[in-house]
Amino acid sequence: MVVQAMSAREAVLASIRAAQGGPADQSIPRLYSASVDLSPAEVVEQFADRLHDYNATVHHATVAAIPATIAAILATRQKTGLLIPSGLPPEWLPVGYTFRRDEGLSYADLDASQGVLTACDVAIALTGTIVIAHSPAQGRRALTLVPDYHLCVVRLSQLVATVPEGMRRMAALLPAPLTTISGPSATSDIEMIRVKGVHGPRTLEVILVE
Amino acid sequence: MSVHVGEAASALPFPEAAKKLVANSQLRRNVRHATNVIRTKRGRVIAEMDDWEQLRDSGKAIKDHTLAHLDEYLLQFEAACTKAGGQVHWARDADEANRIIVDLVKRYGSDEVIKVKTMTSDETRLNVALEAAGITPFETDLADLIVQLGEDKPSHIVVPALHRNRMEIRELFMKKMGLDSLGYQPEDIAAAARNYLRERFLRVKVGISGANYLIAETGSVVVVESEGNGRMCLTLPDVLISIVGVEKVIPRFEDLEVFLQLLPRSATGERMNPYNSIWTGVTPGDGPQAFHIVLLDNGRTKVLADPESRETLDCIRCGACLNACPVYRQTGGHAYGSVYAGPIGAILTPQLQSMEHSQTLPYASSLCGACYEVCPVKINIPEILIHLRTKVVDSGHAPLAERLAMKGAAFAMSKASRLSLAHAFARLGQWPFNDDGKLDNLPGLLAGWTEFRDLDAIPSQSFREWWSKR
Ligand code: SF4
């Protein structure tokens, strides 16, 4: 098996080397925009706008108001509690609700839950994207995937305007696995009609924190 | 070594297949509707990007640069991925790749796998190999599930079941999922797929994926998707096996910022697709604890060897050229007899596979140039089509190809298509090829295809314009 694998490797590399050649390599132009001319307020507005576009619900809050905002959202959605990653700031959690830390929960536990509350690592306004690096405040990948509801706290310091700006911040987070989330899961496979929510969380709600 | 591309070897020549499909008006309506919707959305989100052309230039340059150093970047990827805990395998052709994957699944003791949409595995016919080894593959992309349950074939590289309407899908799901009732709304049908797959996602221990990009510098792998079935397959199983063409590598993480802008806008007309997953080897405590990747040649190095057409390998499989193509919009994808349909299929399939079987594909075009105009990595598809036609002529297959193409000309000709035919000839009359001995009869061949044209689809830039600009 190993010998054969080595020979396939050598054979493919040899074919590549035999096939290469031709015009000398040119440099790669990078003349696209890495940034945009928007005020911080406009960037926030654009981010919220994009999220609306994706059918995600957006709330604004100050740091001090995070617990009250979470409590109000849970009350509206008639939820009694959520799962949380082990590193989520405890001061965010309102009293009167049950928050269960993901310490080795089974997939069945995740599936049966009322949803999950996490932070994020980066957010990109132009595309309404949330980036999660699965660090302690975001949890392992399954935690923001299997539950049907995801409530995500985005701090303005995490928000950038463009994809290149976002990618630069993401590069610093490697080799952690990265997930970019732009709205709830969706499909347009049936007659190109966008259906919100297939396998990932069908509802995404965001709290934007100043 | 035996390269095969799906079932292209046993497929009907394009004109014969197309003739049957064009007669199916329901299919044509479905294809027309779907491609119109994507074209409109694409147009809207591209118009809002001031730097779209600059992004295309960068995308093209990154891909061309990578191909010129493909061996180095693959080795760099291999080293980085291995260091991060991944295991890298190489496969010369489809059978070798399938064998590696079947052996791995067996080694991990599973008799079922969950799969996220991978064209490459369609190309190698992995599902057939898995089933022959007693392993059940579950397709999890909604469109792929529709294709799998319907024992159908994909007809579009981004929306593989776009030839089916909701009534057809609803009926299929009720039958195959054993449902007594099911609503008529797309939401109801999507919910049925969610229920059907949920338990499988949580249970099956081996996941199989393709990849959109491999990053040489970091050893990371990128999968772009919408439904979350990708994340399920990449995250929940104990073992993940990815099968990826060698041309999918890009040099640096920062290069991804170009493609994550080009791909979603071109493919589905979204500013960003709902999910991108980027992982690097194995992460303790998160996701599969065994990760294997199979790097596949299957004819790709043969494409690389032809400087006139190697840019075919730049393709990021966005499907924009299919949606733009007047021939594809009339025939749908099945006529191309390959997992790769449309203009990209017309140039990729005959290069991967021996020209003999797919010699008519380079004629499956009116050379209107619409594909080149929309391609996010600026692949000059019309020029490659002409190059491949020359090859067909050189290989002595032209008479058959021509005969078949002319047969295509016998398709019902409406008044509108006669008009467009005249329009096409007006353009073709000024071709630079008429004095090329080998291509003397090209306009005759082309005439076989021109009635596929829609008047409304004639692109703003004519063949001659792009030719002079190239
Ligand atoms: S050839 Fe260009 S337009 Fe066609 S699928 Fe590939 S990248 Fe997209």
**Predicted confidence band of residue B451 (pLDDT cuts 50, 70, 90):** very low
Residue B117 and residue B62 share a domain: yes
Number of domains in chain A: 1
Q: Say yes or no: B103 and B230 in one domain.
A: yes
Write the pLDDT tens digit of every residue in A59-70.
999 999 999 999
Tell me the CA–centroid distance for residue B380 and ligand 1, in Å.
10
> Which pair of structure tokens corresponds to residue A113?
């839950």
- DSSP summary character for residue A27: P
Examine the domain organization and report whether B462 and B378 are in the same domain. no
Angstrom distance (rounded) from CA B104 to CA B109: 9
pLDDT value for A173: 97
CATH number at residue B151: 3.40.50.10420
Q: Quick check: is B293 in a domain?
A: yes
Q: Judge: B278–A17 Cβ closer than 8 Å, yes or no.
A: no
User: Tokens 């990815």 sit at which residue?
Assistant: B242
Ligand 1 centroid distance, CA of A113 (Å): 41
In the three-class reduction of DSSP (H, G, I as helix; E, B as strand; rest coil), residue A159 is classed as strand
User: What is the share, in percent, of chain B residues with pLDDT greater than 70?
Assistant: 81
Domain for residue A158, yes or no? yes
Joined tokens for residue A149: 């509801």
Per the domain annotation, does B250 fall within a domain?
A: yes
Please judge whether B33 and A191 are an interchain contact, meaning their C-beta atoms are less than 8 angstroms apart: yes
Stretch A170-196: mean pLDDT, rounded?
91
Instruction: Note whether residue B305 is domain-resident.
Output: no
| Per-residue confidence (pLDDT) for residue B355, from 0 to 100 | 56
Q: How far apart are CA A6 and CA B11, in angstroms?
A: 34
Residue A160 lies in a domain: yes
Structural domain ending residue among the three candidates B260, B276, B300: B300
> Residue B377 phi/psi, 5° resolution?
-115, 20
Helix or strand or coil: residue B231? helix
Distance CA B425, CA B420 (A): 8
pLDDT digits (tens, 9 = 90+) for A26-61: 789 999 999 999 999 999 999 999 999 998 999 999
* Average pLDDT in chain B: 84
Who wins on pLDDT, B200 or B25?
B200
| Atom of ligand 1 minimally distant from the CA of B371 | 3
- pLDDT above 60 (res B288): yes
- Using the Cβ of A195 and the Cβ atoms of chain B, whether some distance falls under 8 Å is answered with yes
pLDDT at B450 over 50: no
Contact A110, A148 (CB under 8 A): no
Distance B60 CA to ligand 1 centre (A): 11
Amino acid at A173: L
Contacts of A178 in chain B (CB under 8 A): 276-279
Question: Do both B181 and B276 map to the same domain?
Answer: yes
Q: Which of B372, B394, B416 is the last residue of a domain?
A: B394
Residue B290 and residue B169 share a domain? yes
- The stretch B304-322 carries a mean pLDDT of 95
Averaged pLDDT for residues B288-317? 96
- B2 pLDDT band (50/70/90 cuts)? low
Do the Cβ atoms of B321 and B7 come closer than 8 Å? no
Same domain, B208 and B334: no
Contact between chains at B146 and A128 (C-beta distance less than 8 A): no
Please state, rounded to an integer, the average pLDDT across all residues of chain A.
93
Do residue B458 and residue B360 come from a single domain? no
| Opening angle at CA B213, ends B116 and B319, nearest 5 | 70
Out of B375, B394, B413, pick the residue that ends a domain. Answer: B394
**Share above pLDDT 90 across residues of chain A, in percent, rounded to a whole number:** 81
pLDDT beyond 90 at A193:
no
Helical H segments across B236-299, by residue range = 256-267
Quote the CA–CA distance of A117 and B274 in Å, as a whole number. Answer: 19
The pLDDT of residue A39: 95
Full residue range of the structural domain in which residue A199 is found: 32-209
Number of domains within chain B: 3
What Rg do the C-alpha atoms of chain B give, in angstroms? Answer: 22
Q: For chain B, say whether A61 makes contact (Cβ under 8 Å).
A: no
Which of B347, B354, B309 has the alpha carbon at shortest distance from B328?
B347
With CB atoms and an 8 Å threshold, state whether B258 touches A32: yes
Cα dihedral B225, B228, B234, B235, rounded to 10, equals 150
**Residue B12 carries which DSSP code?**
P
Asked whether the beta carbons of B340 and B330 are under 8 A apart, the reply is: no
Per-residue pLDDT, B431: 31
A177 pLDDT higher than 70: yes
Q: Please tell me the predicted confidence (pLDDT) of residue A189.
A: 84
- Residue B306 belongs to a domain: no
pLDDT digits (tens, 9 = 90+) for B237-269: 999 999 999 999 999 999 999 999 999 999 999
| pLDDT tens, position by position, A64-122 | 999 999 999 999 999 999 999 999 999 999 999 999 999 989 999 999 999 999 999 99
H-assigned helices in B209-255: 229-235
Nearest CA to ligand 1 atom 2: B375
Residues of chain B with Cβ-Cβ distance to A32 below 8 Å are 51, 54-55, 58, 258, 261
Q: Are strands A122-124 and A159-160 parallel, antiparallel or unpaired?
A: parallel
Q: Who contacts B222 (Cβ-Cβ below 8 Å, separation ≥6)? A: B211, B212, B213, B214, B215, B256, B276, B277, B278
| Residue B447 pLDDT level (bands cut at 50, 70, 90) | very low
Helix axes B186-203, B166-177, angle to 10 degrees: 40
Q: Is residue A10 part of a domain?
A: no
Q: Which two tokens stand for residue B219?
A: 């050893």
Amino acid present at B351? Q
Which residues 6+ apart lie within 8 Å of A51 measured at CB?
Answer: A57, A58, A128, A183, A204, A206
Q: What is the CATH number of the domain that holds A82?
A: 3.40.50.10420
B318 and B262 belong to one structural domain = no
Segments forming the whole domain that contains residue B147: 8-300
The pLDDT assigned to B455 comes to: 28
